[in-house]
Amino acid sequence: MSKEIKIRKGVDIKLKGVAEKIYANPVNVSEIVLKPENFPTLIPKLLVKVGDKVKAGSPLFCDKENDKILFTSPISGEVVEINRAEKRRIVDVKVKSDGQSSYESFKQADTSSLTREEIIENLLKSGVWPFIRQRPYDVIANPAVKPKAIFISTFDSAPLAPDYSFVVHGQTEIFQAGLNALAKLTDGKVHLNNSGNDNVDAAFSGAKNVQINRFYGPHPAGNVGIQAHHIDPVNKGEVVWVLRALDVLTIGKLFKEGKFDASRTVAFVGSKVKSPKYIKTVLGAKITDIVSGNVEDGGRFISGNPLSGSQISANGHLGFYDYQLSVIPEGGNDQFFGWIAPGFDKFSLSRTFCSWLTPNKEYDLNTNCNGEERAFVVTGEYEKVFPMDIYPVYLVKAMITEDIDRMEQLGVYEVAPEDFALCEYACTSKISTQKIVREALNLVKKECS
C-alpha cells in the first residue's frame, strides 16, 4: 500500500556551506535554555525556581492549559536564570550543567506490552511528548485526542538541512522502538515518508509496523505537512500527528533506556562556517560551545534552516525542534541600483536575474530583503512553490482579513508556517507570509476550541 509521490512545485535553494558528512569533535555542553516561544500558543507555568537542582528529565515548566504536558530539563544541573519580558511572560529558563549526567528514570519497557495510555503517560512525564505535533494549527499534539494517522518525515529538504539518513545510521533498533510506540497511539496508519533518493538508510527503508511512502522532487517535499496533504489530507474536525524522524529517536531512547536522552546531532552549516560538519550536542545547547571560533565575522546565527529558523544571538541557544545551526552573511548594505543590476550572485525564481543561466551554482545569500514591502501585485509566484491543492494567495488574504470561515474553506487546517517559507522567499512584494500564517493559526485555534 506504499505510495510513490512526485512533487513538481517547489525549488531547492542551493546555498554554500553544506555540512560534510563527518562528526566534529564532541563538545561539552555548559548550559542549556528552554524557550517557551518555541511552542506556539503555549502559556507556560513554571515548576522550578532559580537555584533548584534538576536532573535530565526533571520538569522545568508545564502547559498552563494542560498541566500533564511537561517540559523537562535536557541535562542535569542547576536552574540559574529565569528571564521574563513584559507582563512577566517567561522568555527562557536556563540550566547550568553540573558536569554529570544524572537522569530521572522513567518506564523502560517493550512497547508491545504497554497500553496506549501507559505509552502516553510515559511520554508526557519524561517531557518527550512535545516532540509530537499536530495538524491543524502546527502545535504540540493534544494527548486526549486520537489522531486519524501519524506522519513521519525521514528527510529534510530545506536549504543546508542535515541528512537524517546520515544521523540515524547505526540506530536502527532505537528508531524502530520509537515507531512501535507511535504505532500504538493511533488506530490509523503510521506513515513513514522516505525520500525518493537511493541513499536512504536501512533504518528508514527497512522500518516495520508502518506504511512506507516515497517522495520525489524539490523542497518542500520533505515538509511533513506537504506529505500528509498528498497521502491523507486533514479535513475539518480531523487531527493528524506529525514528527520528524530524528524526534522518533528520542522516543525510542525513552522506551529502550528509560530516560530522557536529549542528546542530538546538529548540522553546523552555512557559508560563514569555516568547516561545516555534524556535531553531537544536546537540545537547547548554548551555541558558543558549538561554534568555538569556527565561524567568520559578520554572520547571522540561525537556529534551524535559513527559510524557517529563528535568529539567535552569537551566544544564544538552539531551539527545541532544531537540528541545524546555520550561519549566513548578515546583510544591511544599501545596493546601488540593485534593482537593475544583472545579478549573477542573486538567486531568483523569476529569471529576471542573469543567475538563471547557471542553475547548478551554489549561492552565498545574505539576509537582505532586496526590496521594500508592497501590496500583492505579481500573481502565480506562490503557486509555483506551493505543492498543495490550495490557493495560497487566497488563503493568505483570508488570513490577513482574519476571515475564519473563508480560511476554513480554503484549507487552513492543512498548513503550517514552514509550508509557506518558499512563498515568502519568492514574494516580489516582500510579504511576511510565515508570520501571517502563524498568527492566523493561533487565531483559528483560539476561536475554534
Applying the rule CB under 8 A, the residues between 309 and 338 that interact with another protein are: 309-311, 326, 328, 330-338
Rank residues 99 and 338 by Cβ distance to another protein and give the closer one. Answer: 338
Alpha carbons 273 and 71: distance in angstroms, whole number: 31
- DSSP assignments along 235-264, one per residue: PTT--EEEEEHHHHHHHHHHHHHSS---EE
Q: How many residues does the chain have?
A: 449
Q: Applying CB under 8 A, does 41 fall inside the site for another protein?
A: no
CA dist 445 → 235, 412, 433, 449 (Å): 15, 11, 18, 6
Dihedrals phi, psi of 56, to nearest 5 degrees: -65, 120
Q: Nearest distance from residue 417's CB to another protein, in Å? A: 8
Q: Nearest distance from residue 438's CB to another protein, in Å? A: 9
Q: Nearest distance from residue 148's CB to another protein, in Å? A: 9
Per CB under 8 A, the list member of 188, 196, 218, 233 interacting with another protein is: 233
Using the rule CB under 8 A, give the single segment among 94-102, 164-172, 243-251, 347-355 that binds another protein: 347-355
Q: Nearest distance from residue 354's CB to another protein, in Å? A: 10
x-or-dash pattern for another protein, window 182-221, by CB under 8 A? ----------------------------------------
Q: Nearest distance from residue 4's CB to another protein, in Å? A: 21
Rank residues 87 and 351 by Cβ distance to another protein and give the closer one. Answer: 351
Peptide bond into 147 cis (omega under 30): no
Q: What type of residue is 22?
A: I
C-alpha cell at 216: 520525489
| Total site size for another protein, rule CB under 8 A | 75
Site for another protein in 396-435 (CB under 8 A): 409-411, 421, 424-430, 432-435
Dihedrals phi, psi of 134, to nearest 5 degrees: -125, 155
Per CB under 8 A, the list member of 5, 7, 15, 279 interacting with another protein is: 15
Instruction: Say if residues 82 and 61 touch (Cβ distance below 8 Å).
Output: no
Handedness of CA 47, 252, 122, 417 (dihedral sign): positive
x-or-dash pattern for another protein, window 64-103, by CB under 8 A? ----------------------------------------
Using the rule CB under 8 A, give the single segment among 63-71, 122-130, 278-286, 388-396 that binds another protein: 388-396
Peptide bond into 329 cis (omega under 30): no
Using the rule CB under 8 A, give the single segment among 94-102, 163-171, 218-226, 365-373 that binds another protein: 365-373
Alpha carbons 90 and 297: distance in angstroms, whole number: 31
CA neighbor of 219 nearest in space, from 165, 159, 167: 159
